[in-house]
Amino acid sequence: MTRTFFVGGNWKMNGSVAAVSTLVDGLNTASLKQGVEVVIAPPALYIPAVQSSLKAGHVAAQNIYSESKGAFTGEISAEMLKDVGVQWVILGHSERRHVFGETDELIAKKAKHALGVGLKVIFCIGETLQEREANKTTEVVFHQLSAVAQVVSDWSNIVIAYEPVWAIGTGKVATPVQAQEVHHDIRVWLKDHVSPQAAENTRIVYGGSVNAGNCQEIGRQADVDGFLVGGASLKPEFADIINAAQ
Question: Which one-letter amino acid corresponds to residue 186?
Answer: I
Tell me whether residue 1 is in a domain.
Answer: no
Tell me whether residue 114 is in a domain.
Answer: yes
Q: Could you tell me which of 73, 39, 79 has the C-alpha nearest to residue 59?
A: 39
Supply the angle between the helices 137-149 and 176-193 in degrees, to the nearest 10.
40
Active site residue 163: yes
Tell me whether residue 120 is in a domain.
Answer: yes
Q: How many CB atoms lie within 10 A of CB 78?
A: 24
Question: Which one-letter amino acid corresponds to residue 157?
Answer: N
pLDDT of residue 1: 55
Tell me whether residue 12 is in a domain.
Answer: yes
How far apart CA 244 and CA 164 sit, in angstroms, is: 21
pLDDT of residue 26: 96
Element (H, E) at 58: strand 58-61
The count of domains in the chain is 1
Per-residue model confidence as pLDDT tens for the chain (246 residues): 589 999 999 999 999 999 999 999 999 999 999 999 999 999 999 999 999 999 989 999 999 999 999 999 999 999 999 999 999 999 999 999 999 999 999 999 999 999 999 999 999 999 999 999 999 999 999 999 999 999 999 999 999 999 999 988 888 888 999 999 999 999 999 999 999 999 999 999 999 999 999 999 999 999 999 999 999 999 999 999 999 987
How far apart CA 76 and CA 212 sit, in angstroms, is: 33
Q: Are 155 and 190 in contact (CB under 8 A)?
A: yes
Tell me whether residue 136 is in a domain.
Answer: yes
Q: Could you tell me which of 48, 39, 55 has the C-alpha nearest to residue 87?
A: 39
pLDDT of residue 142: 98
Residue of 58, 93, 113, 183 with catalytic role: 93
pLDDT of residue 172: 83
- With vertex at residue 38, the alpha carbon angle to CA 27 and CA 82, rounded to the nearest 5 degrees, is 110
CATH code at 93? 3.20.20.70
Handedness of CA 209, 216, 227, 129 (dihedral sign): negative
Three-state DSSP at 246 gives: coil
pTM of the predicted model as reported, rounded to 2 decimal places: 0.97
- With vertex at residue 232, the alpha carbon angle to CA 230 and CA 234, rounded to the nearest 5 degrees, is 90
Residue of 95, 102, 127, 163 with catalytic role: 163
Instruction: Residue 32: give the domain boundaries.
Output: 6-242
